[in-house]
Amino acid sequence: MTESFYFYYIFIILQKLFIIAMITKLPQIHIIYDRYKKASPTRKAVVEIRITYNYKQKYISTGIWLFPKQWKNGKIINCPNIVEISKTLDTLISNIRKILYTMIQEGNINLFSITNKLRELEKGEETFIGFCERKSKIRKYGKCADTQKRYDRFLRMFLSWGKIIKFEDVNEDNILMYDEYLRSKNMKPYSIWNNYHRFLNSFIKDAIEEGRLKKNPYKKIRIKKDKYTSSIDKCLTKEEFNRIIDTPMPTQALERVKDLFIFQSYTCMSYSDMKAFDVKSIELIRGMSVYTGKRKKTGKSFTIPLLKGAMEVVEKYNGQLPIISNVKYNEYLKVVAQAAGINKPVSTHWARHTGATMLLNEGIPMHIVSRICGHSSMKITEQIYAKLLDETVVDTLLETGNINNI
């Protein structure tokens, strides 16, 4: 074997391996008959199309029912209307390939939306699910990665439920069924509304605006939102926060996590904004170090005075915060809290609420806290911390002495 032939032989093998690898990454289409093995000489079974991709399978009925003697080696035989049935099967497979090709071009292969897209091809009109998928691309454009993932998560859940397909399916009864389905997943009311109902409601409003729907069923249904009441409970008291500051950590890794939490609490930053922290954006205004920027989530501007506790963390790490992944950060925070004797499920978002509540308790005006937090409007700040302010008013009056004498 010459050297040139040897290299050619290796090249051919590598080329075949590459082709196999590419094929396995693409959706595979198979024709399946009698999947449940229930056909008999007196009982027909359905022919289905099985689409396999990324370890997931989707079966689509062809509507073709045959006896065992009418099917052999993946082909229809001994059938009186074989030409018509074969044509129907070929058309269906062709349409599925068109849909998959479009998905591949768009870089988003979703097996669970194929059935809906087939209906659109057959009828030549857009369904409500197709409308939602199209609108989601518009709504996701320019949004942060977290928001885009939330749209994708909603669509996956909505498609897997699959009870609202057409525009005429958008009614009060089906919305209630959807709510029951979500509650069966043991999600909290806040998550059910904020991550699922809210997105569906926004698409319904889009459809009404375009004249595809006449009314919004959500106007007649009261979905429990519980949007802000739980937020205020997810914060540390001033005493608990000081306990974390004063408690030495057993390892350097936990010490860094503790410092991140302290910095977050003093700045009211979200994890994503803290991750993007750039010491070059610190300005000196009237002798105070001030950090300015825009929130990753909303694009809203924030102005954060870097208090002594925050600056100590920045200086300790020479302007480079010891950022770790959000998952690991949340895991280690539980250990930090336990080390400080705090029996609460502390997470990264607790720091943001802890900082805001401390500022409000110190008498910082609501609009200033709103600016520091980078909320899209002061109304959000008021909604989140209204309960806190009610309690603060009562505590302040009680501290003045016997208010009954006033």
Q: Where are the domains of the chain?
A: 27-123, 126-227, 238-399
The Cα–Cα gap between 358 and 106 comes to: 47
Q: What is the mean pLDDT of each run of 10 residues along the chain (406 residues)?
A: 58 55 69 92 92 90 90 86 82 87 82 82 78 88 79 89 88 91 84 88 91 89 62 73 92 94 88 89 85 76 83 92 90 92 86 81 72 64 53 46 42
Contact 376, 298 (CB under 8 A): yes
Identity (one letter) of the amino acid at 37? K
pTM, 2 dp: 0.46
Supply 264's token pair.
């977050």
Separation of alpha carbons 165 and 170, rounded Å? 8
Q: Which two tokens stand for residue 362?
A: 């110190």
Sheet holding 301-305, edge to edge: 282-285, 288-294, 301-305
What is the predicted pLDDT for the residue at 406?
A: 38
Classify the C-alpha dihedral 203-206-207-208 as positive or negative. positive
Other Cβ atoms less than 10 A from the Cβ of 406: the count is: 7
| Angle, CA 137 vertex, CA 118 and CA 225 arms, to 5° | 100
Q: What is the CATH number that goes with domain 126-227?
A: 1.10.150
Please identify, in words, the CATH class of the domain defined by 238-399: mainly alpha
For residue 375, the model assigns a pLDDT of 64
Report the pLDDT value the prediction gives residue 235, as an integer from 0 to 100. Answer: 77
What pLDDT was estimated at residue 20?
Answer: 45
